[in-house]
A and B are shown apart, each in its own frame.
Chain A
Amino acid sequence: MLLPLLFWCTLWRPIAKPPLQVAAPGVLKMVLPDAVWEDEDLRRRLFSGLTTTIELETELPHRDPEARTAFALMEIRYDVWEEQLLVRTFEPGGSMSQATLKDVDALRLWLKKNPLALYLLDDQHLNRALTAKVRCRIIPFSKLEQEQTMAWFANLGEAQANGEQVAASRGRLGQGPETDRGGNDFFRVLMTTSIERRSVVSFRWRYALTLGASFADVRQ
C-alpha cells in the first residue's frame, strides 16, 4: 500500500489552478498556467520532434449525458528545419485554429491572447450553481505518429527477413529468412500493440461557478 503512495507523491507536482473565463455567448475558456510550460519534461518533449497533444476534458452538469463532457485539443510540434513551433487547436463546436510560433514564450503569449475554449454553456446552466471539472492531459505523441511507429516496428523484422537490408550479414551467418520469420509474427504483434498513447502528465482542477440570468453574470 505504501509503495504506490510514495511513488505517486514523487510524481505529483502541485500547480496553481488557472482561472476560468466565461466569454459571450457562454463559452467557458481557459489559459493554461505558466507553470505548465516551465516544466522541464514538457519542454524536452516539445522539442523532441514529436507532436505533443494537450487534451482538456471539461465536465459540467447537463440533462443530456452527451453534452456533459467537452474536449479541447492543442497539438504542438517543433519543426527543427524551420525552427518554429506549429500549433493547432481544436475546440468544442468544431472550430480549429493554427499558428506558427517562434518559441515557447511566443506560444504562451499567443495562448493568453487566444484562450482555449473548453465548453459551450447553454440556458440550462443559467441561474444555478455549477461544479466544473477540468482535466488536463499531456500526451507525448499523436495518433498518426503512434501508427507510423507501429508500422515501422511491425515492418522492422519483416524487412530484415526479406533480406532487404541485412542480406550480406545474414549470408555470412548462414541464416535463412525463414529462421528470422519463424515465430516472430505473434511476438511482433504483441510488442507492436504495446505502443500506447498515454498521458505523461495530468492535472485536475475543480471550479465552483454560479451563473446569474446571463452568461455575463458569473461568480467563481
Chain B
Amino acid sequence: MRAQLLVSSLMILVCLFLFILAQKSLSDPWIELALDREVNALLAESMVLQRKLSTHEPENEAEYRALYQRTREKLQHREVLLTTRDTIRRRYYWILSSTFALSLLLIAGFQFWYLRRRNLRLQILQRNLEKLAANDFALESVAGSKDLVGRIATMIAEAAEVMQANRKRLRYLENLEIWRDSARRIAHEIRTPLTAIRLELRQLVRGVVRGGGDRDQVLEEKQQSILEELARLSEFTDAFSSFAKLPAPQRKSEDLGRFLDEFAQIYEHAWTNMTVTVSVPPDPVRVSMDRRMVRQVIVNLANNSAKALGERTGSLDINLETRGGCAFIEVADDGPGMPEEMREIVFEPYVTGNPVGEGMGLGLAISRKIMLDHDGDITLIASHEGGTFFHVFLPLEPEGAEPSEK
C-alpha cells in the first residue's frame, strides 16, 4: 500500500510538471497577444491623432473628444494590466496549476479509497472462502453487491447456502444410515437368541411328547441352552443400560503413571495378537479419576485395536505426557486405521466398523462420556494405513493439593 502511495504521488508530480510545462507554453503567447505593447502604442498614437483631427475639424471636436476619452480609458486599463502583467501571469498559472493539482489529488484520493475498500472486501471474500473450506457457514457480509466483487460475494453466499443445505441433508442421511445399521444390529442381537430359544423349545416339546429314558437329560440340556440364550439377551440389554445409566465416576487422587504401569502388568497377555507397551515419566502424575472407569476406556481402545488387527499381529503403545496443565495418554496402534468417513463420527453411538453381530458401536461413545465426566476428553488425532492415534487427557491436580476423594 505504501509503495502504491509513493507511485501515485510520483505520478501526480510528473503530471503536474507536464501540465505546468504545457500550460505555460500554451498560455504565454495568448497573454503576450492580449497585452501587446504595440497595441498600447497604437492607442496612444490614435489619441494624438484624434486631438489633431479635432483641430482640423473644430465642428467635430466633441465627437473626437468622446472617442479620445474612450480610447484613453481603454489604454489606461491596458497599461495597468501591462504593469501588473507578471503578477497576473503568476496568479493565472497558480490558479490553473492548483485546480489541476487538486483534481489530481481528488482522483488519486478516490482511487486510493476505492482500492483500499476493494482490498478489504477481497480480504473478506478470502476469509469467507477459508471458512467454507473449514465447513464454517457463518460468512461475513460484503458491502455493495453491484460490482464484480459484490457479485462474487453473492455467488459465494449462495454456494454456501446450497452447501449448508446439502451438508444437512447428508448428515440426515448419514444419521439415518447409522440408525438403520444399529436397528439391524439390535434386531440381529435379539433375533439370534430368540431363534435359538424357539428351536430349543420346539425340540423340548418334541422330546416331551415322544417320551423316552433320557427325557430328564434332554430337559436338562434344553433348559441350560434356553437359559444361556436368555443370558445373552440380558447381556445385550445390560449393554444398553450401561450406556443409558452410566454411573458418575468415583474420583480419587491417583498417580496416572503408576496406574498405567499396573495396567500393563495386568493386561500384558490379554490380547494374543497385540503387544502392549507403556511408557510413563519417572515423576508421579497426579490426577483425580475413577480407576475402574479409566481402565474401561483404555481397554475399549485396546479391544478396538486388537479387533482391527484381525489375523495380523501388532503393537499398542501407551505413552503418558504432561503439558499445559493436563495429563495426556497417547494411545497409538499400528493397525490398518479406520475408514475416512468414520473418523468424524467415531465417537457417536452405534458407529462401528465391525460386521453385524460383532458389537453395537457403543464403546467409544461410552469412553468419551467417561472422559468428559472426568473434565477431560478423548480425541482422535490421526488414523491412516499406518495406524490409529488417540489422545486421552485428564486435568492435572494442582501442585501442593492434598490427595483427596471426590
Contacts and interface: CB of A to CB of B under 8 A. Distances in A.
A202 to B, nearest CB: 15
A194 B88 contact: yes
B44 A49 contact: yes
Contact of A195 (B68, B73, B75, B80): B80
Nearest to B92: A191
A50 interface: yes
The majority secondary structure among interface residues of chain A is loop
Contacts of A8: none
B368 interface: no
A49 B88 CA distance: 21
Contacts of B65: 81
B83 interface: yes
A200 interface: yes
B80 A190 contact: no
B76 A149 contact: yes
Contacts of A140: 79-80, 83
Contacts of B47: 49, 80-81
Interface residues of A, number: 24
B91 interface: yes
Contacts of B81: 149, 153, 195
Contacts, number: 71
A194 B95 CA distance: 11
Given A80-B72, A81-B51, A194 B87 contact: yes
Interface in B52-75: 65, 68, 72-73, 75
Nearest to A200: B83
B152 to A, nearest CB: 41
A205 B80 CA distance: 28
Contacts of A47: 44
A185 interface: no
12 contacts: A47-B44, A49-B47, A49-B72, A50-B79, A50-B80, A50-B83, A81-B65, A141-B80, A153-B77, A194-B90, A194-B91, A198-B87
Interface of B: 40, 44, 47-48, 51, 65, 68, 72-73, 75-77, 79-81, 83-84, 87-88, 90-92, 95
Given A83-B51, A191-B95, A193-B91, 9 more contacts: A81-B47, A81-B68, A140-B80, A141-B80, A141-B83, A148-B76, A194-B84, A194-B87, A198-B87
Interface of A: 47-50, 80-81, 83, 140-141, 145-146, 148-149, 152-153, 187, 190-191, 193-196, 198, 200
